[in-house]
Amino acid sequence: MPELPEVEVICRGLRPHVVGRRIQEVVCGPKELRLAVPRNALQKQIAGATIMKLSRRAKYLLFDMDNGRRLLVHLGMTGRLGIFPAKAVQALHDHLIFRLDDGMEMRYNDTRRFGFVVVQERTGQENAPLAQLGPEPFWPEFSAEYLKKKAAGRLQPIKNFLMDSRVVVGIGNIYASEILFAAGILPTMPIGSLILDQWRTIITISRQVLTRAIEAGGTTISDYVNASGTPGYFQLELAVYGRAGDKCRKCRAIIEKQTIAGRASYFCPRCQK
């Protein structure tokens, strides 16, 4: 699943091509996504509107239109959103095509169809599914004091805590593993046992890891590509994720894999305590 860096890279790649552009037509394929495709709203409220702003919130892409509507896109597990010339051959799993007034097309492709799109009215407040989200990792609200208060007295493993979008958004399985390795903390550590300095370290490392991943164009494990169809390169820097049985690049111990709350977790038993 694309995590914060991948969605941010796609957002930045799309922005110069779509902001200020009028959507002349929306072509909807016959298949549904994770949620039913809002065909009527796309045809009546998005077609004919101009994209005034494109932003990211958590793992969502937000297209704000000049008619007060917002197109919200979640890529799910295998979703792709890219820019193509109108004459480019359509791919097998292109489910939505947004035809722009400059002859280009923004196409939503999703092999497994776990993504979804929603058309909303912009109200000045966050509507579902955004309303229950925690802060962004780069926001000042994401502080050591905030995390320590959230974690007080709880036994939840730190890795699951960081992956909870009600606590902080955009950190999935890959980056949670990498952040905890860089911070020297085991993924099974109970959150209530961490002291303030450890939370400060986690915040600093989180921002560093996510920034490096964005600069590298994201992490391509299987399906992810950016808005131009190019894979990311951060997978070349992964210290622990997907490396079970390999030697730790820092201490040469063997990287281990453990299932925590149903998710595969990777860690170095020597570097992480």
Nearest Cα to Cα of residue 223 among 71, 61, 118, 81? 81
Q: Is 149 a catalytic residue?
A: no
Q: Identify whether 263 is a catalytic site residue.
A: yes
The candidate with the shortest Cα–Cα distance to 263, out of 175, 177, 173, is 173
Cβ count near 18 (within 10 Å): 22
Positive or negative torsion for Cα 261, 197, 56, 3: negative
3-state class of 257 per DSSP? strand
Decide if 104 contacts 86 (C-beta within 8 A). yes
Cα–Cα–Cα angle for 120, 123, 127, nearest 5°?
60
Q: Of these residues, 59, 70, 80, 113, which one is catalytic?
A: 59
Contact 261, 273 (CB under 8 A): no
Give the strand order in the sheet containing 60-65.
51-57, 60-65, 69-74, 116-121
Give the contacts of 92 (CB within 8 A, at least 6 positions apart). Answer: none
> Which residues neighbour 36 within 8 Å (Cβ) at sequence distance 6 or greater?
none
From 15, 150, 263, 269, the catalytic residue: 263
C-alpha to C-alpha distance for 94 and 222, rounded to whole angstroms: 18
Instruction: Report the amino acid identity of residue 27.
Output: V
* 59 part of the active site: yes
Cα separation values, 179 from 70, 117, 213, 238, Å: 33, 30, 11, 10
| CA within 13 Å, CB half, 122 | 16
Catalytic residue list contains 190: no
Active-site residue, from 3, 6, 105, 178: 3
Looking at the annotation, which residues are catalytic? 2-3, 59, 263
